[in-house]
A and B are shown apart, each in its own frame.
Chain A
Amino acid sequence: MNTPAINALRSLIADDGGTLLDEWLLSLKAAGGAANGRVNENELRTQCRDFLAALQGAFESDAPTDTHTAAYEPVTAILDEMSRSRALQGFSPSETATFVFSLKHPLFARLRRSSKDVEALGDGAWALTEVMDSLGLHVMQVYQTSREQVIKRQQEEISELSTPVVKLWDGIVALPLIGTLDSSRTQIVMENLLQSIVDQEAEIAIIDITGVPTVDTLVAQHLLKTVAAARLMGADCIISGIRPQIAQTMVHLGVELNMVSKASLSDALALALKRTGRMVVPRPIASKS
């Protein structure tokens, strides 16, 4: 990188930060980067001022066009923070990227004014573009990573929430299934159920499918697998909560569940209690004296 271009870069921010900041804020608002007032005006101003100060510092370094040097660390730190918080607040990618790209307009205007000849303008423009694009890419990368983290966390939460195994009685566990059963969920469900059969020394496991919206051949096969695995461990399974429409659909599809099934969870619990040698009887009402 030749010296004139570097000097041009340095002079862009160095002369006066105040007007550049105002121009940038205007350009940012025009491009929608202020996100319709979702970001506090003062906050945005502070953020922009910090960024310009950090950028100026980076331009003073030996290699101002390489954004991977240590001199750019303060700049990327501000961008990381900004990008991450906006990703979590639900900003769109373009709204986030505009933060950096809207600075291009005022900077290029200054560059044009300060360049004496075409060559200087060309060199300066190239150096500036290189820096701004690299920073813009960095913003998008951080944004994407943050979004992926959010999605991953939500996925984990959903899979944890949706497969609880509850203990109903000594030796009786229940697995209330909610939502569609696909292969990966079946795997988790099966592992959870089998592990809790071991932990609770359960003889009977009730699988309640009230919350399963559809039962097709694949779901039925997954259920059968779970039941077969539980049986191999020495526990009996009872299916409960098959809704009338689903029962009809299953019969029409020719899906046969060769296992004990009960209409409701309470029926299943009654059967489970009976099998484990217990019964529920109404308490005799104490006679009033």
Chain B
Amino acid sequence: MDRIPILKLGSALLVTIQVDMHDRLAKALEDDITAKIMTTGAKGVLIDISGLDIVDSFMGRMLDTIASVGRMLDATTVVVGMRPPVAITLVELGLTLVGVKTALNVERGMALIGISVDDFEEVDRHDGG
């Protein structure tokens, strides 16, 4: 079965989805990302969906789940590069992905993760001090 590659970039994971997602692939990706966060201790997960034309409700829920799981494992999930038609469809489906951070492109997404990781460290320092 196909697998979506998960790349490690510093303390972040980069997932670029370029094929149409079917449900089993989405589920496999969810498992892989969770496992990878654990093994690498990543602080952020970037999911690039700029290659996706179609996102269904299952895929939308999966993004939400990945973000929730990531949050539990102390990794910020950022969905980047969503196309306008996809955004409109998700909103019409009622999936506004409230718990998920979003960014326009990978670069901005990286910045977002960098900032939020720094913020966490600051909080830790304050806690410690």
Contacts and interface: CB of A to CB of B under 8 A. Distances in A.
B104 A228 contact: no
Given A232-B90, A232-B97, A234-B102, A198 B108 contact: no
Contact of A233 (B84, B92, B96): B84
Nearest to A230: B87
B104 A194 contact: no
B103 interface: yes
B108 A229 contact: no
A228 B86 CA distance: 12
Contact of B102 (A191, A198, A231): A231
B35 interface: no
B45 interface: no
A190 interface: yes
A234 B91 contact: no
Given A231-B96, A233-B82, A234-B80, A190 B88 contact: yes
Interface string A201-236: 111000000000000000000000100111111110
A195 interface: yes
B104 A233 contact: yes
A171 to B, nearest CB: 9
Nearest to A235: B104
**Which of the listed residues A197, A198, A201, A230 has the most CB atoms from chain B within 10 Å of its own CB?**
A198
B105 interface: yes
A203 B104 contact: yes
Interface string B80-123: 11111011101110001100001111001100000000000000
B52 to A, nearest CB: 12
Nearest to B108: A234
B104 A232 contact: no
A193 B84 CA distance: 9
B104 A198 contact: yes
Contacts of A203: 104, 108
Contacts of A234: 79-82, 102-105, 108-109
A231 B103 CA distance: 8
A232 B91 contact: yes
Contacts of A202: 104
Interface in A89-148: none
A191 B91 CA distance: 12
A234 B109 CA distance: 9
Given A234-B80, A234-B82, A229 B87 contact: yes
A204 to B, nearest CB: 11
A71 to B, nearest CB: 53
Contacts of B81: 234
Contacts of B102: 231-234
A219 to B, nearest CB: 16
B111 to A, nearest CB: 10
8 contacts: A197-B104, A202-B104, A229-B84, A231-B96, A232-B87, A234-B80, A234-B81, A234-B108
For the complex of A and B, list the 8 residue pairs with the smallest distance between their C-beta atoms, beginning with the closest.
A194-B84, A234-B103, A234-B104, A234-B102, A229-B87, A232-B87, A228-B96, A229-B91
Interface of A: 190-191, 194-195, 197-198, 201-203, 225, 228-235
Given A231-B96, A234-B102, 19 more contacts: A194-B84, A195-B84, A197-B104, A198-B83, A203-B104, A203-B108, A225-B91, A225-B92, A229-B84, A229-B88, A231-B102, A232-B87, A232-B91, A233-B84, A233-B104, A234-B82, A234-B103, A234-B104, A234-B105
